[in-house]
Structure 1
Amino acid sequence: MSQRRTDHNNILVAALLAFLSSFLYSCDATKHLRENEYLLRSNTVHLQSENKIKHKAELKDNLARIIVQKPNKYTFGIPTKVWLYNIRYDKYQKDTTNFQIKSKTVEKPVVYDSSTLRRSAQNMKSYMVNQGYFYAHIDDTTKFKGKKAYVTYDVQTGTNYLLNKVNLDIDDSAITEIIRNNSKESALVKGTEFSMSQLETERSRITALLKNYGYYKFSQESITFVIDTLNKAYLQNAENPFASAVNAIEEQKKAEKPPLDVTMIIRAEDPSEYRKYVINRIIIMPDYEDRKDFRDSTMTVKNIDGVTFRYHHYYVRSRVILKHIYLEHGRIFSQNDLEQTQSKLTELGVFQTINIRFREDTSADNLLNCYILMNRTRRFDFSTNYEVSSGSTYFLGNTLSFSYRDKNLGKGANLLSISLTGGLETSYDENKADKIFDRFALLNRYYGINTSINFPKFLVPFSMKDASRRNLPRTIISLGTNFQDRINYFTLTNTTSSLIYNFRETREKTWDISPAFANVIRLPRIDDAFQARLDTNDFLRNSYRPTFIEGENLAFTYSDQEKKKGGSYSYLRLSFEEAGGLLQGINLLVPSLDSSYSQYTKYDFDARHYFKRRHSTTAFRFYGGIGIPYGQSNTLPYIKQYYAGGAYSIRGWRIRTLGPGSDSTGQANNNGFVDRTGDIKLEFNGEYRFDMLQLFTGAIKLNGAVFADAGNIWLARKSSDFPGGNFTFSTLGQDIAVSTGAGIRMDIAGFFVIRLDGAFPVKKPYVFNGNGGWVFNEIAFDNSTWRAHNIVVNIAIGYPF
C-alpha cells in the first residue's frame, strides 16, 4: 500500500514537472526570434553627478519614459502578455490589427533595434538641457546574454545653473507695474536650480495674472525669455574677446553651480492684447440644446438683477443659479471669476455640461457679452451595490444596498439621497450535518435605511451672502435608522440624525461643522447568556446599554491632490467631537430630565501621503484617535468606539477581532461572537501599488499591491476584564500588531475598484514568546492548519485608503 502511494506521488511529481517545463518554455519570449534577433529585456538609466541631485528617482523615471524602444511588460518576472501572444503566434503574425493586439491584451516580443539608441540619447540630452543641465552627456552600452539584450544609459549630468537675476523688457507700463507688484508669486526665484519648466510655469502664471486684471485677449505667445549663462566676471581678456569667451565657458563648466540671468520680454503684435475688457451683458440658458436656441423666439425670457435667462422649461430656480455666478455686469473680466463660476455651477450637480463663451460687444471696443450654456443632466439616479466577504469569525458575509438620488429636489439643486442596506453573516461547520445546507448557521443580520438632503447653501437664520459666494457652501441634514441582530446575543437599533455645514476655505482646505447630531441606541433584546457575560464585564456592560447621544463635531480636511494634478500629493483630516455637555447643562436646570445620555470627547487625525510614479504609487497612512469619557460615562458608546482589523484597517485580522492591547481573551476561539473595541487607536499602513495588465484598451486595469499594516486599539482605563488592554507607553512595543500581504485590484473604467487582499500576521501582541510577539518562525504556507488560522482574505470595493 505504501509502495503504491509512493508510485502515485512520483507520477504526480513527474506530471507537475512536465507541466512546469512546458509552461516555462511557452513563457520564453525568445522562442520565435530569428538567428540575429535579440529580445530587449531591459533599459537601465544610471545617473552620475559630482553634486547631489534633487528628486533623483523622479529624474531617472522621466528619462526612462522618453526612451524610444521599451521592453515588454513582466509580471513577477513572467512576460505574461508575450506568453499570450506566443500561444496564438501564427494568427497574430498574419492578423496584425487584431483587437487583442490593439487593446494591448497581448504583446508582440520587442526585438532589439540598435538604431533607436541614438534617438533615445538625443531625447535624454534635450530633457537634461530643459532641466538646466546644459553640459549633460549620455553614453549607451548594450550587453547580450543568450537571446536577450540589456541596454544601459549612463547619464553624466554635468553642472546645473542657479538662477541669478530676472530682468523685465515690456513695452506697456501698466503691465510692467502689475508684474512687479505680484513678483512674490514668481516661479523664477533667485538662488533656485534653473530648469526650462520654470519658464513655462512663469509664462502661464503671467498670462493668468493679466487675464485676472481684465486683459482678456492677452496670449502667452507674446512672452519670450532670453537666457544669459555667461558670467561677466570671467571676461578678463579685453584684447582677445573670443579667447575671453572660451575661457568664461570653460570656467563655468568647472564651477559647482554657475549663475545665469533671465530676461522676460513681452511684445504683443495685436494691440487689443493690451486692452482691459469689461463684462457687459450676461445671458444664461439653463437647458441649452443647440445653436438654434439663439434664434428660438418661443423660449421664455426673464431678466433678474441685470442677468438674462432664456429657457425652454423651468428646470432650476433662477436665484439658485445666480448665487453661483461670479461674473457681473460692469465688472472687469477676470479669469478667476470665470473658473469659479464654472466650478460652482458644476458643484450643483444638475448640469451635464457647462460652456461659458464670450463675444465682443460691437457698441464699444472693450465690452464682452457672456453666454453661459448648460445642458441638463439626468435628475434621478438608481444604483445597487453588492459586497461579499469571508473570515475566521464567519464563513460568508453578504451585503446588498440600493440607493436612490434626486439631484434637483424642489428645483433648487437640492440633493435627496435614500439608501437601503441589508446583510447576513453565516457560519459553516462541515461536521454538523450530512446535508450541505444544514451545515450553515446564521450569525448576524443587519439592515437599515438612511436619508439625507444636501442644500447648495447655508441654511441659517441670518444672511451669509459673502461666504455663500466664496466657499461653495453646503447644508446637509440626515436621518436614518439601522438594525442589527446578533443571533443568540442581542438586538441593537441605532437611530441617527445630524446637521452639517460644509464649505471650502480654499481649494485645498475644507471644513465640516456639525452644531448638532444625535443618536438613540436601544437594545430591545439581550439573551440570557450574553446578559450573564455583561454582568461580569464592566466595559461590555457600559458599552452595550441603551443610551442617548447628543453632541457637536468639527472636522478640517486638507488635500492638495487637485492642485498637484496627477503628481504626488498629501491628505490630512483632523476632527473633534463632544457629546453630553449641553444635556448636562440642561440637566442642571431640569433635574427630572432622563440622565441616560453619554458624555465624551473624541480627537482623531488621519494623515496620508501618496508618492506617484509613472506605473506605481507608494502610499502611507498614519491614523490615530482617542475618546475620553467624562462625567457620568465610564466608556464610549458602542457605536463610537474604535476597532481594528478588516479590509480597511489591519488586514491580517478580521474586523473587530484585534485588541485591546495585548489582551488574549477569546483569541483561541474564533467561532463565537467577538467585538473587540477600545477608546484609543493607532494605526500605520504602507502600500506599494503597481500596474500589471490592461484589458479592452485600458477599460479594465488589473493592478497589484504589496502592503504592511501595524497598530492596535486600547482602553483608556485599566480593566480586569481585559488584562493588558489599557494603553501604556512601557508596553507599546509589545502591543503593536503587524501584518503583511499582497493584493489584486481590478479598476473598471476608473469608476470603481474591486479589491482582493490576502494578509497574515507577523507580530501578534497577545503572544509572549520573548521576541516581542514576532512570529516569523511560525510562518508555514505549506501547512493547512497554519493557513486556516492566519491567512485572511478580504474582498472589498475601493482602496483601503
Structure 2
Amino acid sequence: MVKQLTYFFSLLMLVGTLFSCSPTRNLSKGENLLVANKIVFKDKHERKHLSEDDMSGVIRQKPNRKILGLYRFHLQAYNVVSPQKLEEKNQKKKARIDKRNTRRIAKGKDTLEYKPHWLDWLRNTVGEPPVILDTVSTQKSTDQLEKYLFNKGFFLNEVDYDVQYRHKFGYIFKKLFHDSLPDSVEVNARTQKVVIHYNIRTRSLYTINKFQFTIDDLLLLDDVKKSVKSSLIIKGAPYDVDKIEAERDRLTSSMRNKGYYQFQKQFIYFEVDSSLNKHAVNIKEIITNPASENEADSVKIHHKKFRIRNVYVNTSYDPKSSFVGADTLYALDMYFLNFELLRYRPELIADNVFIKAGRYYNEQAENYTYTRLAGLKNFKFINIDFEVIQGAGNDTLGYLDCTIRLTPSDRQSLAFETEGTNRSSNLGISGNVAYKNKNIFRGAERFEVRLRGGLEAQQTSNVSVSSDDANQTVSEALPFNTLEYGGELSLYIPELVFPKKVYNSFRLPRYNEPRTNLNFNYSFQQRPDYTRTISNTYISYLFSLTTKNRNNFIFNPFDISFIRIDKSTAFQERLDEINNSFLSASYNDQLITATKFSHIWSNERQLRSNSTSIMTNLELSGNILSTIYDVTNQPKTNGEYYELMGNRFSQYTRIDSDIRIKKFLTKKTRVIYRFFGGIGIPYGNSEVLPFVKSYFGGGSNDIRAWQARTLGPGSVPDSLDQGIDQIGDILIEANVEYRFPIVDFVEGAAFVDGGNIWLLNEDEQRPGGKFEFDRFYKEIALGAGVGLRFDFSFLLIRIDGAFQIHDPGLIEGERWIFEPKDIYYQTHGRAYRPTFNLNLGINYPF
C-alpha cells in the first residue's frame, strides 16, 4: 500500500511539475517561442477552393504540439528535465553498469546493456524541443504561400507577415522591442512568446476562359475526344495546377485503358495563356508523339494500340527457379503452364483473369485481375508481365504476350491463436484452434474448422447465488465470471452458389467479387445468471459494386438460430419477483428463422483521409413460417402462438443504421462522429424481441459513462439495483471522439456520448420506458470523458473513463450533473455522487 501511495504521489508531483513549468524557461535572451501561425485574409475575393490546411502545410515552422488543442505537453516534458542533471544521472548510471560488468566478466557472465536514465526517454522521446522563431524560415514560408496561391489561380497575390507577442493581458504590438528582430517582429520580454500573422491579399481569381486540345497524331483523335468529355478542366472553373496535374493522370489512364500500353503522361503538357487582361486564362492540352527508338532519328512515330496475343498462366511458379515444364494446356483462351502441377480448375483461373486474348490492352483489366487473384487468398506472390512482340503488327498496332505467375501458398494450415475480445461491451480473452484448407475442391474454396474457448467479465445480477448452483463455481474459481466454448464449420466459395437457372439469370460480373459463405457454429456460455447454448447455421451471399465509392452487399436468405437458456435458481427467483412477463419472455428459449440484408457504403480511399461510412441492416424473422401455419390452419399452442419442433419461433422486423464520419484536423489528429439508430418490432408469433436481438445501452463501445445494459429504457432508473439486464426495442445514439497522439504508441482521446434505449409498448413494471415523441429528447443520457489507446500494432488496448453528465434515470429538474439533487437525497437518504465509469476495451469503440 505504501509503495502504491508513493507511486501515486510521485505521479501527481510529475504532472504538477509539467503543468507549472514555463514553456520559455530554457530560452536564451533574444530567443522567442513560436506559439501560433495565423493566416489572415486582407481582402474579400472568392477563395472557396482554397484549403487553409494546405496553406498551413507549406509553412516551414510549426508551433509545438498541443494536447486537446490546449496544453503543450511534449514541450513541457522536454523542459522539465535539466540537460545538465540528466548528463550527470547518465554518467552515474553508466559508471554503475561498468562496475557491475567488470564483476560479471570476472565471473564469466554476460555483460549488462547500458540504457540511459528514464528521464532521457522523457526528454528526448516524449519531449519536443521548443520551436524558436526563425525569421529566415518565416520569409521562406511567405514565398511558399505566394507560390501556392499562384498555383490556385491568384496570379497577383501578395503575402507578407508580422509577428505579435503574447502578453498575459492579451495581444499587443511592440515593433521596436528587440534589436535582434526585424521591425515587423513584436515580442514580449517576459513571456518570449510570439504569434506570426501571414497577411494574404489574394487579389482577383483567374478562371478558365477556354480549354482545347492539340494532337500531333491524328489517329488518336477519336479516342481523345471520347476521353476529353470527362476532363477535369472545365470552362469557368478556377485555374488550379493540381487539377491540371490530375487531368494529366486521368487522360493517361484513360488512354492506357483504350489499348495504348506504352502511353505515358510525359506525352501530355499544357500551355496557359494569361494575357487576356480579364482575369481569365486559355488552356491548351497538347499530346505529343513518342520519339523513335533510334536516337539519331528525330522523326516522331505513331502511338500504337496493343492487342493481347496470348495469355500464359503458371499457377505453380517458383521465384527461386526458372524451370517451366513442357506440359502446357490450352483452354479457355489461355495457356496453362506446368499443367501437371496445376492445383486449380482452369475455369477458376479464367473467371478471375480479365486480360483476354484478342482484346486491346486495358490497364483497368490488369488491376482487376491482380485484385481478384489476390482475393482468392491462395497465392503468396502474384506477378503480371507484358512483353511486346517485336516484328508483329504495324506502325499503329502492336501485340503483347501476357504472363501471369502465381506462387501458391500452403494449402493446409493448423493455427493456435489467442486474442482479447470485446463483444457487446464485455471484456474477455479467448483461444482458438483452427484448421484451414484453402483449396479443398480445387476451386479456391476455403474450408475452416475452428474450436474456441474463452472467458469474459460480464455484469451479473446483484442477487446471491446459492452454494449448490453450479454456476457459482465459474465466478468463484476464475478471474472472469463467464465461460464460453464452441466450434465452427465454414466453407467459403468464390462465386454465388444459386440454382443454375437463377444463377444464369442474375449472374454478376466477376469483378463484383461475388462469394458465398456456408456456416454452422455452436456456442456454450455459462455465466452466474444462466447457461445459454446457441446453435446457428446460415448461408450468405456477398458482392460489391464497382463505383468510385465502396458498395458492399450481404444477403443471408437463411439464418437459423436455436437459443436455449437454463436460468439459475436465483436468477429465476429474481425474474419472478419482478413479475414482468415481457422481460421474462426475453429470457425464454428462442427459435429464430431470419432473413438478413446488409449494405455497406464508404467513400474512404486512403487510410488517413476524411471519409464517411454507412452500414444499414434489415432483418426479418418468422414471416414465412407464420404464413405457412396460417394458410394450413395449424393449431396454436394454448391458442396463442405457433411452435416448430416444440419451440415458439420468433417473428419480428429489425432495421438499424450506423453512420461514421472521420475528419482529420491534422495528419495525426482527427475527430470521429458516430450516429446509430435502430428499431425492432415484434409481432404475430412474438410479444417481445429475442434477448439477443434487443438493443441495450451503455458499455465500453457505446455510452461509456454507464455500464453495459444498465441504461434505460427511457427514464427508468439505472438497473444495477434491479439486477436484470435492461433491453429495449429502440436505440438512438450519437458519439463524438477527438483522437490525438501523445507519444509513439500512445494515443489520447476526449469524447462525448449520448443516447438511450426505449420500449415500443407501455410496460407497467418499467414506467417511463416507452418511446414518446414529446419527451424522448429529455431522456437522452449524456456522458463525457477521456481515454488512452495503447497501439501495439497487433493489438490496441483502450482505457476510457467517463462521467454521467445527464442521467435520465433521475427525475426532471435533477438530471443534469450541476442541478441540485434534493429529491434524490430525500429518496436515497444520502447525497448524490457523480457517477464515474472506467472501461477497458480492445480496439477502437467505433
| Class of the TM-score when normalised by the shorter of the 2 chains | 0.7 to 0.9
1:70 aligns with 2:62: yes
Maintained 8 Å contact 2:217/2:302: no
Q: Are the structure 2 counterparts of residues 230 and 54 from structure 1 closer, same or farther at C-alpha, using a change threshold of 3 Å?
A: same
Counterpart pick for 1:264 among 261, 277, 285: 285
Aligned to 2:811: 768
Counterpart pick for 1:741 among 776, 785, 805: 785
Aligned to 1:241: none
- For residues 708 and 442 of structure 1, the distance between their equivalents in structure 2, rounded to whole angstroms, comes to 29
Alignment map for 1:446-525 (pairs within 5 Å): 446-462=484-500, 463-464=503-504, 467-487=508-528, 489-507=529-547, 508-525=550-567
Instruction: For 1:45, give the aligned amino acid.
Output: I
Maintained 8 Å contact 2:761/2:770: yes
1:606 aligns with 2:658: yes
1:274 aligns with 2:266: no
Counterpart pick for 1:310 among 323, 331, 337: 337
SS at match of 1:561: coil
Counterpart pick for 1:413 among 431, 444, 454: 444
- For residues 685 and 650 of structure 2, the distance between their equivalents in structure 1, rounded to whole angstroms, comes to 7
Q: Are the structure 2 counterparts of residues 387 and 84 from structure 1 closer, same or farther at C-alpha, using a change threshold of 3 Å?
A: farther
Alignment map for 1:343-358 (pairs within 5 Å): 343-358=371-386
Counterpart pick for 1:704 among 717, 737, 748: 748
1:383 aligns with 2:411: no
Task: Compare 160-169 and 406-415 and name the one that shifted more.
Answer: 406-415
- For residues 612 and 757 of structure 1, the distance between their equivalents in structure 2, rounded to whole angstroms, comes to 21
SS at match of 2:400: strand
Instruction: Please state how far the C-alpha of 1:516 moved relative to its aligned partner.
Output: 0.6
Q: Are the structure 2 counterparts of residues 161 and 30 from structure 1 closer, same or farther at C-alpha, using a change threshold of 3 Å?
A: same
- For residues 607 and 157 of structure 2, the distance between their equivalents in structure 1, rounded to whole angstroms, comes to 29
Runs of 5+ in structure 1 lacking a partner?
1-11, 232-247, 253-257, 695-700, 780-784
Task: Compare 150-159 and 723-732 and name the one that shifted more.
Answer: 150-159
Instruction: For 1:521, give the aligned amino acid.
Output: I
Q: Please give the TM-score of this superposition, normalised by the length of structure 2.
A: 0.79
Task: Compare 333-342 and 299-308 and name the one that shifted more.
Answer: 299-308
SS at match of 1:582: helix
Instruction: For 1:290, give the aligned amino acid.
Output: P
Q: Are the structure 2 counterparts of residues 583 and 44 from structure 1 closer, same or farther at C-alpha, using a change threshold of 3 Å?
A: same
SS at match of 2:575: helix
Instruction: Please state how far the C-alpha of 1:117 moved relative to its aligned partner.
Output: 1.6
Aligned to 1:642: 695
Maintained 8 Å contact 1:281/1:370: yes
Instruction: Please state how far the C-alpha of 1:51 moved relative to its aligned partner.
Output: 3.3
Report Cα offsets for 1:112-166 as digits up to 9, x if no partner.
Answer: 3222122111211111222222222221223433444433322222232333321
User: How many residue pairs end up in the alignment?
Assistant: 733
- For residues 12 and 608 of structure 2, the distance between their equivalents in structure 1, rounded to whole angstroms, comes to 46
Q: Are the structure 2 counterparts of residues 774 and 161 from structure 1 closer, same or farther at C-alpha, using a change threshold of 3 Å?
A: farther
Runs of 5+ in structure 2 lacking a partner?
1-6, 92-115, 164-185, 292-299, 466-474, 636-641, 822-829
Maintained 8 Å contact 2:586/2:688: yes
Instruction: Please state how far the C-alpha of 1:755 moved relative to its aligned partner.
Output: 1.8
SS at match of 2:719: coil
- For residues 23 and 526 of structure 1, the distance between their equivalents in structure 2, rounded to whole angstroms, comes to 53
Maintained 8 Å contact 2:418/2:429: no
Instruction: For 2:208, give the aligned amino acid.
Output: L
Aligned to 2:739: 689
Instruction: Please state how far the C-alpha of 1:18 moved relative to its aligned partner.
Output: 8.1
Overall identity of the aligned pairs, in %: 27
- For residues 598 and 15 of structure 1, the distance between their equivalents in structure 2, rounded to whole angstroms, comes to 58
Aligned to 1:208: 253
- For residues 163 and 611 of structure 1, the distance between their equivalents in structure 2, rounded to whole angstroms, comes to 31
- For residues 75 and 832 of structure 2, the distance between their equivalents in structure 1, rounded to whole angstroms, comes to 31
Report Cα offsets for 1:327-365 as digits up to 9, x if no partner.
Answer: 111111111101111111121122233221211012514
Maintained 8 Å contact 2:737/2:749: yes
Aligned to 2:272: 227
- For residues 86 and 547 of structure 1, the distance between their equivalents in structure 2, rounded to whole angstroms, comes to 62
Maintained 8 Å contact 1:217/1:273: no
Q: Are the structure 2 counterparts of residues 79 and 721 from structure 1 closer, same or farther at C-alpha, using a change threshold of 3 Å?
A: closer
Maintained 8 Å contact 1:382/1:405: no
Instruction: For 1:306, give the aligned amino acid.
Output: D
Instruction: Please state how far the C-alpha of 1:322 moved relative to its aligned partner.
Output: 2.3
Maintained 8 Å contact 1:390/1:794: no
Aligned to 2:108: none
- For residues 272 and 594 of structure 1, the distance between their equivalents in structure 2, rounded to whole angstroms, comes to 79
Aligned to 1:151: 196
Maintained 8 Å contact 2:79/2:123: no
Task: Compare 176-185 and 221-230 and name the one that shifted more.
Answer: 176-185
- For residues 440 and 370 of structure 1, the distance between their equivalents in structure 2, rounded to whole angstroms, comes to 60
- For residues 565 and 297 of structure 1, the distance between their equivalents in structure 2, rounded to whole angstroms, comes to 40
Q: Please give the TM-score of this superposition, normalised by the length of structure 1.
A: 0.83
- For residues 280 and 439 of structure 1, the distance between their equivalents in structure 2, rounded to whole angstroms, comes to 70
SS at match of 2:588: coil
Q: Are the structure 2 counterparts of residues 506 and 121 from structure 1 closer, same or farther at C-alpha, using a change threshold of 3 Å?
A: same
Q: Are the structure 2 counterparts of residues 405 and 687 from structure 1 closer, same or farther at C-alpha, using a change threshold of 3 Å?
A: farther
- For residues 11 and 609 of structure 2, the distance between their equivalents in structure 1, rounded to whole angstroms, comes to 46
Report Cα offsets for 1:611-634 as digits up to 9, x if no partner.
Answer: 223232222121111111111211
Instruction: Please state how far the C-alpha of 1:724 moved relative to its aligned partner.
Output: 0.9
Maintained 8 Å contact 2:324/2:337: no
Counterpart pick for 2:364 among 320, 333, 336: 336
Instruction: Please state how far the C-alpha of 1:290 moved relative to its aligned partner.
Output: 2.5
Aligned to 2:97: none
- For residues 497 and 351 of structure 1, the distance between their equivalents in structure 2, rounded to whole angstroms, comes to 29
SS at match of 2:148: helix
Maintained 8 Å contact 2:733/2:754: yes
1:43 aligns with 2:43: no
Maintained 8 Å contact 2:78/2:124: no
Task: Compare 707-716 and 271-280 and name the one that shifted more.
Answer: 271-280
Aligned to 1:244: none
1:187 aligns with 2:232: yes
Q: Are the structure 2 counterparts of residues 174 and 61 from structure 1 closer, same or farther at C-alpha, using a change threshold of 3 Å?
A: same
- For residues 148 and 842 of structure 2, the distance between their equivalents in structure 1, rounded to whole angstroms, comes to 40
Counterpart pick for 1:120 among 102, 120, 141: 141
Counterpart pick for 1:402 among 421, 429, 432: 432
Maintained 8 Å contact 1:354/1:375: yes
- For residues 101 and 528 of structure 1, the distance between their equivalents in structure 2, rounded to whole angstroms, comes to 53
Q: Are the structure 2 counterparts of residues 290 and 160 from structure 1 closer, same or farther at C-alpha, using a change threshold of 3 Å?
A: same
Maintained 8 Å contact 1:136/1:155: yes
SS at match of 2:766: coil
Q: Are the structure 2 counterparts of residues 753 and 580 from structure 1 closer, same or farther at C-alpha, using a change threshold of 3 Å?
A: same
Alignment map for 1:577-592 (pairs within 5 Å): 577-587=619-629, 588-589=631-632, 591=634
Instruction: For 1:374, give the aligned amino acid.
Output: L
Maintained 8 Å contact 2:785/2:800: yes
Task: Compare 40-49 and 420-429 and name the one that shifted more.
Answer: 420-429
- For residues 171 and 13 of structure 1, the distance between their equivalents in structure 2, rounded to whole angstroms, comes to 77
Maintained 8 Å contact 1:481/1:493: yes
Maintained 8 Å contact 1:711/1:737: yes
